[in-house]
Amino acid sequence: MTRSQKPNMPRLEVVSRVAAIPIVESGIGVTEKLYFKIKESNPLFRWYLSFGEKSLATGLQLAMPAVQMLETPINQLDRFLCKSLDVVEKRVPSIYMPPQAMYSETRQYVLRRADSVKQLGEAVLDSRVTAATATALDRALTTADKYVDKYLPPDNQDAADVVIIVTNADAVDGADGDSGRARAAQAVQHGARLRRKLQRRLTRQALAEAKALKEQIHVLVYVAELVATDPVLAWKKAKELYATLSQPEPENQARPATLEELVVLLSRETARKVVHLVNYTHTDLPRNVRQAMSIITKQLSATADAVMKVKF
């Protein structure tokens, strides 16, 4: 719009000062170029935008009386905004820098801050607290490694995992002179290695348990078929198993090395104790009761004889 289309408009100092800021002035220039480029790109756009400019100018002319009536409040608002702009200029003097210079200054500031954060992170990694924490964590992982090897022992596929405990413990003891960063990296690598090993062995253990469950199902099916087809043989097998469980518990049994062996041992010994309890209730308990009753009867008889002798 031309200057002839907006006469008698109140002049706002804050608008002039804001428009004088380099980045705002540059933005206004880019916007004007884009506006005129769009306007001249098509006759329809030219007619539509020209009609809009005329309508806006007409609206401003009609609003002039109301604007003149509000001139005093507008001037007060202008002075208040100018004071606020003065405060902004004092606190951020770089707003009057050219856009390219402001971009370069902002970029340098961000790079300096990033470098300071990086240096702080390096200082934290190299500190004694980080080194001590990483060492404690690595030793805890070594202990966890031992328990994993105890309850989930390796097989031929895990031959490389067997040396982890010794080599890692030696590395921790020999790393007293290393920096916190090296110890932290070592602890992270140890944790990742332990996670992979635990995942691999748990998967193998789950597959083994599934296989054992499948075998147990096959055994139950075999027992059911044996009872249905040959009851005599099934009864013979049951008596043999019962006789085996009725024998005393073997001495100096080897301690279970794996979790599966521990479960098997507990199951077998529980069944053995149940069989011993049944045997005791069926044979030993009645015999012991008879012996006790016989002893009590003899004692009562002897007591009665003694009483009779005293009377006569």
Q: Where are the alpha helices (DSSP H) in 247-284?
A: 259-279
3-state secondary structure of 75: helix
Distance between CA 15 and CA 121 in Å, rounded? 46
Residue listed under structure tokens 């921790």: 172
Residue listed under structure tokens 């139950």: 220
Tens digits of residue pLDDT in 168-192: 545 545 444 456 677 777 888 888 8
What pLDDT is stored for residue 166 in this prediction?
Answer: 46
* pLDDT band with cut points at 50, 70 and 90 for residue 3: very low
Residue type, 35: Y
Angle between helices 180-229 and 164-173 (to 10 degrees): 160
What pLDDT is stored for residue 184 in this prediction?
Answer: 75
What pLDDT is stored for residue 271 in this prediction?
Answer: 74
Distance between CA 125 and CA 127 in Å, rounded? 6
What pLDDT is stored for residue 33 in this prediction?
Answer: 87
Residue 233 pLDDT more than 70? yes
Mean pLDDT, to the nearest integer, of 2-12?
55
3-state secondary structure of 255: coil
What pLDDT is stored for residue 120 in this prediction?
Answer: 62
User: In this structure, what token pair is assigned to residue 238?
Assistant: 């049951």
Terminal-to-terminal C-alpha distance of the chain: 152
Question: Are 54 and 48 spatial neighbours (Cβ–Cβ below 8 Å)?
Answer: no
- Of 180, 73, 94, the closest CA to residue 136 belongs to 180
Largest alpha-carbon pair distance within the chain?
158
Query: Domain segments of the chain: what residues?
Result: 3-91, 126-202, 230-307
The radius of gyration of the chain from alpha carbons, rounded to an integer in Å, stands at: 48
Mean pLDDT, to the nearest integer, of 20-44?
84
Tens digits of residue pLDDT in 234-291: 777 777 766 776 666 666 666 666 666 667 677 777 777 777 777 777 777 777 777 8
What pLDDT is stored for residue 93 in this prediction?
Answer: 76
User: In this structure, what token pair is assigned to residue 181?
Assistant: 């960063």
What pLDDT is stored for residue 179 in this prediction?
Answer: 62
What pLDDT is stored for residue 8 in this prediction?
Answer: 58
Mean pLDDT, to the nearest integer, of 216-233?
73
* pLDDT band with cut points at 50, 70 and 90 for residue 157: low
Residue 144 pLDDT more than 70? yes
Tell me the CA distances in angstroms from 282 to 149, 269, 286, one per residue in order: 45, 20, 7
What pLDDT is stored for residue 210 in this prediction?
Answer: 74
Q: pTM above the 0.75 mark?
A: no
Q: Where are the alpha helices (DSSP H) in the chain?
A: 13-20, 22-40, 43-69, 71-91, 99-125, 128-151, 164-173, 180-229, 231-246, 259-279, 285-311
User: In this structure, what token pair is assigned to residue 2?
Assistant: 């031309």
What pLDDT is stored for residue 204 in this prediction?
Answer: 80
Residue 101 pLDDT more than 70? yes
* pLDDT band with cut points at 50, 70 and 90 for residue 311: low
By percentage, how much of the chain surpasses pLDDT 70? 72
Distance between CA 141 and CA 164 in Å, rounded? 11
Mean pLDDT, to the nearest integer, of 184-202?
83
**Cβ partners under 8 Å of residue 127, min gap 6:** 180
Name the least confident of 2-6, 124-128, 302-306: 2-6
Residue 302 pLDDT more than 70? yes
Mean pLDDT, to the nearest integer, of 63-75?
79
DSSP state of 177: T
Tell me the CA distances in angstroms from 171 to 29, 129, 148, 165, 199, one per residue in order: 66, 19, 19, 10, 24
The angle subtended at Cα 260 by Cα 254 and Cα 264, nearest 5°, is: 65
What pLDDT is stored for residue 260 in this prediction?
Answer: 65
